[in-house]
Amino acid sequence: MTDTVDVVVVGAGVVGLGVALALTERDRRAVAVLEAEPTVAAHQSGRNSGVIHSGLYYSPGSRKAAWCREGLALLYRFCEAEGIPHRRTGKLIVAANPAELPRLDELAARASANRVAARRVSAAGLIDVEPAVAGAGGLWVEETGVVDFRAVARAIAARVQSGGGTVRFGSAVLSIVRDGAGFVVESTTGTLKTRRVVTCAGAQADRMARMTGPDPGVRIVTFRGEYLALKPERAELVRGLIYPVPDPSLPFLGVHFTRRIDGTVDVGPNALLTLARDGYRRGQLSPRDLAEWVAFPGFWKLLGRHWRVGAGELARSRSKALLLRSLRKLVPSLELSDLVPAPAGVRAQAVDRAGRLVSDFLFAEEPGVVHVLNAPSPAATACLAIGRIVADRVLAAG
Ligand SMILES: Cc1cc2nc3c(=O)[nH]c(=O)nc-3n(C[C@H](O)[C@H](O)[C@H](O)COP(=O)(O)OP(=O)(O)OC[C@H]3O[C@@H](n4cnc5c(N)ncnc54)[C@H](O)[C@@H]3O)c2cc1C
């Protein structure tokens, strides 16, 4: 027998779960979340830096800027209500040399445009905030915090279930076919009939969109983010969060030092284009993924635009000495022997036909369907805000 639900949500990362929560809480809809893996947050949501972002970096007026602010407030409240360990650590963005100071000024102006409280720190004042840091100046952002997004995902899933929704693990969605006024969703655990569908499939987002509608004109490319960790006996080098001034041409924030909620200090992530959508390991290659990428004109244009940055990232990934040299610009007393390997994450990022990395959150919508096509950082911070917005859109969409 085929079960029937109001809404099928594909993906139990924090974005899919955020959508399911909004649907169950607000409208008491019968929601089924289908997740291919055996747990929540198995991909990006459980393998990230665990930073609750303030909303400082994003273009004023963008979805990222607005929803990060809204999401941060909702997330702090949710963590408090659910008793999820979290900490408002604040974060220090450091200009490594005087040439980076104008970019720090731009960030300060952007913070003010986005209504994020941030204060400049002089070169001499840096050590009062982070004793091991050196640089030409800094920007201190108070609202930034840390949390384990796996714990957030587990708590959201529990609320979805207590609100009458279901989360089905090991359910990889194979097809979504329009059927009269609704859809038939086939997964590895059976078939569901539903009136509406939301897909939040991270690295598989563009494939989901192509199941129900026209080619959305973007492909997901994936970037492995490798981390190292400070040895426990050297973890005192970092009190909170230390970030470099980011490269404005890229959607990544640069390799940073993060004291996580469990007290460990991570260094990373870098950003290496992978040859497989789940390219957690070096050298991992998927012929299917690669064939799709090389057939997409935007992929080649992306390589043309960013090959220099990519080559630099690759060199630092291969040579710890090179990596150390760049990290020492922020923390000069760091030694190679302080660093040990830590698990990598893989970022999903939409690229358009012109080879541009899509910077804002992006959806594809058709009657009864919303596909979340691009939900890179700070989507974990913003997950509860994105959830509300997508829930409204799918209920309005036909
Ligand atoms: C290295 C790294 C560091 C980051 N740091 C931060 C940070 O500090 N702060 C922040 O806010 N954001 C950060 N991000 C970004 C953040 O983690 C993501 O934006 C967010 O987790 C996206 O959530 P999601 O639910 O869209 O995707 P995902 O967590 O990737 O979830 C997608 C889910 O869909 C499932 N799925 C895919 N295909 C199918 C299918 N066919 N059937 C069923 N299920 C399917 C997958 O198994 C997966 O569980 C970081 C990301 C990475 C990778």
Query: pLDDT tens-digit profile of 245-271?
Result: 998 777 778 889 999 999 999 998 889
Taking the alpha carbons at both ends of the chain, their separation in whole angstroms is 26
* Residue 183: per-residue pLDDT: 97
How far does the centroid of ligand 1 lie from the alpha carbon of residue 269, in Å? 15
C-alpha torsion sign, points 109, 111, 117, 118: negative
Cβ-contact 359, 389 below 8 angstroms: no
* Residue 29: per-residue pLDDT: 75
Nearest CA to ligand 1 atom 25: 13
Cβ-contact 46, 23 below 8 angstroms: no
* Residue 323: per-residue pLDDT: 85
Structural domain count of the chain: 1
Quote the distance between the C-alpha of residue 206 and its chain's center: 16
Task: Transcribe 284-351 into DSSP letters.
Answer: -B-HHHHHHHHTSHHHHHHHHHHHHHHHHHHHHHH-HHHHHHHHTTT-TT--GGGEEEEEEEEEEEEE
Quote the distance between the C-alpha of residue 27 and its chain's center: 27
Cα distance between residue 348 and residue 346, in whole Å: 7
Angle (CA) 235-228-57 rounded to 5° is: 90
Q: Which amino acid is at 148?
A: D
Report residue 288 as tokens: 């299917």
Domain hosting residue 332, numbered range: 3-396
Q: Which atom of ligand 1 is nearest to the CA of 344?
A: 1
* Residue 1: per-residue pLDDT: 57
How far does the centroid of ligand 1 lie from the alpha carbon of residue 164, in Å? 24
What is the CATH number for 87? Answer: 3.50.50.60
Residues in the chain, pLDDT under 50: none
**pTM listed for this prediction:** 0.97
Q: Which atom of ligand 1 is nearest to the CA of 200?
A: 26
Cβ-contact 370, 363 below 8 angstroms: yes
